[in-house]
Amino acid sequence: MKHFTITFKPDDKQISIHAGATLVEAAEQAGIILNTVCGGKGTCKKCLVKIEPDAQEVLACQHHIQSDLTVTIPNSSRFFEQKILEHGIDTKIDLAATIHEKYQAKAAPDKIFGIAVDIGTTTVVTKLINMTDGQCLATEAVLNPQSRYGDDVISRIAYAQTDEKLAELQKTIIDCINDLTTKLCKKTSIDANHIYEMCVVGNTTMNHIFLKLPVTQLGQAPYKAFSLDAHDLPAGELALRINPAGNIHTVENIAGFVGSDTTAVALAVDINSAEEMTLVVDIGTNGELVLGTKSKLYAASCAAGPALEGARITCGSRAAQGAIEAVVVNGDDIDLDVIGNCPARSICGSGLIDAVAVMLNLGIIDATGRFVEPQKLKDKLPSAIFSRIIEQDGQLAFCLNRAANVSERKVFLTQKDIRETQLAKAAIRAGIRLLQKRIGLEDCDIEHILLAGAFGNYIRKKSALRIGLLPAVPAEKIRFVGNAAVSGARMILLNRQCRELAGELARKIEYIEIAHEPEFQDVYADSMFF
């Protein structure tokens, strides 16, 4: 097969690759990871590169190599290291009923360790735990390498339609966990043979791929899981590099789109003891909701889409270096917080929520999400802010950064971006409102809102309330619980009673398919308004 030489600028890296390969594959071979949140379908348009000498712009995922090329990759098309939420709510665990006892005949008490794993669609977090005293010894996290097959579960389900493709996805996550295990052991000088137990949580799709269970039915109505049960498997059966006698425990799922990660979150926040009405919201590409008290609990899933993680937003990205993560009004202008304290090159979900809230407060957009005509704002806005209202590709936009030179990227929000935000926000808010209707609750009846997950941990309460993402409650009723999924995984890893309670919770929580609710379309449409 014929090979061609590809030179990447400004990296000055050169590789040889076979004819027909894509520029994304060539970049990976050169050690350059491009931003392909759509999984290489060409729909997100985040991997634009320039072919020299004419600076012809092409999508790297769609351009197949048929000659020697010199390619310039702009910063806007690169995937930068993501900010990962590694820690969650601190939970006390009764060490009188710990799992480690079953290994005491095989190892000294000070040499029995376990790993808690949270497989997210976007990230994977692992914690090395001393099984005797429950202490976390080290944490390692990484972007889920399955992201190259698509940034959401639907893309992964679509890819895994054959046994071979499903096995490929499983091997990808197994290799990832093995790499993280190696790093944990190196960091703590612990022998992997002293790791006897692993507890794995994740959404139902991640759970099924990890266990190599069929996923096709998860992408088709009525979206039923192949298995909701907990599973215990020998480490060797999954090729996980811990003690061969070790056990891999996966936690019970709740429904097809509410997985064991939600079970773990519910356990970690002790919702089974809640006396007052409590809402748990885990916002991601797929938002999971749990609402109720200890007497009755309901769950729902809402397809928020990837907009809140930066996809489908013109200048959007995940929470990586250079992403705007906060926007505030400061006197006569706005201020930005940028991850990495460097020039802004994109905007992530928390910054997006802030920016929309700021635009609403300034009157730049109205309650329908539409840009207000600039001439109506000229005398109402400070000149510095008014100058940020620009025209971009024939539509109004709001420019967030002031580029210091021509090489810096302009970061802005367009009318289309506002609409994408509304669609994502409406999906979450409609899900909450329909659960409220099921129980007969007004916003004022909700006493506690617990925000779980990376997105929930970084958004500002006032901005989320301003755009109507959450029920209208006083901000002090909203609390961040961080990566509560991995906190719950640690509890289940260590304690027999927690393991049993997780199963009871998964069976107790009643799943509501909100898209089938008679009022869904009306509630969803109404939730589009800010």
Cβ neighbours of residue 394 under 8 Å, at least 6 residues apart?
none
| pLDDT tens digits along 432-460 | 999 999 999 999 999 999 999 877 677 88
Burial of 29 (0-12, 13-18, 19+ CB in 10 A): middle
* pLDDT over 70 at 29, yes or no: yes
Alpha-carbon span 445 to 427, nearest angstrom: 21
pLDDT computed for residue 453 by the predictor: 84
Please tell me whether residue 72 adopts helix, strand or coil conformation: strand
pLDDT greater at residue 43 or residue 425: 425
The answer to whether 429 and 526 are in contact (CB under 8 A) is: no
pLDDT band at residue 474, thresholds of 50, 70 and 90? very high
Hey, what amino acid is at 205? T
Alpha-carbon distances of 92 from 60, 144, 488, 494, rounded to whole Å: 49, 29, 11, 11
Per-residue confidence (pLDDT) for residue 96, from 0 to 100 = 61
Structural domain 113-258, CATH architecture: 2-Layer Sandwich (3.30)
**CATH number for the domain whose boundaries are 3-77:** 3.10.20.30
Q: Where are the domains of the chain?
A: 3-77, 113-258
pLDDT of residue 451: 94
Q: How many percent of the chain have pLDDT more than 70?
A: 94
- What pTM was computed for the model? 0.83
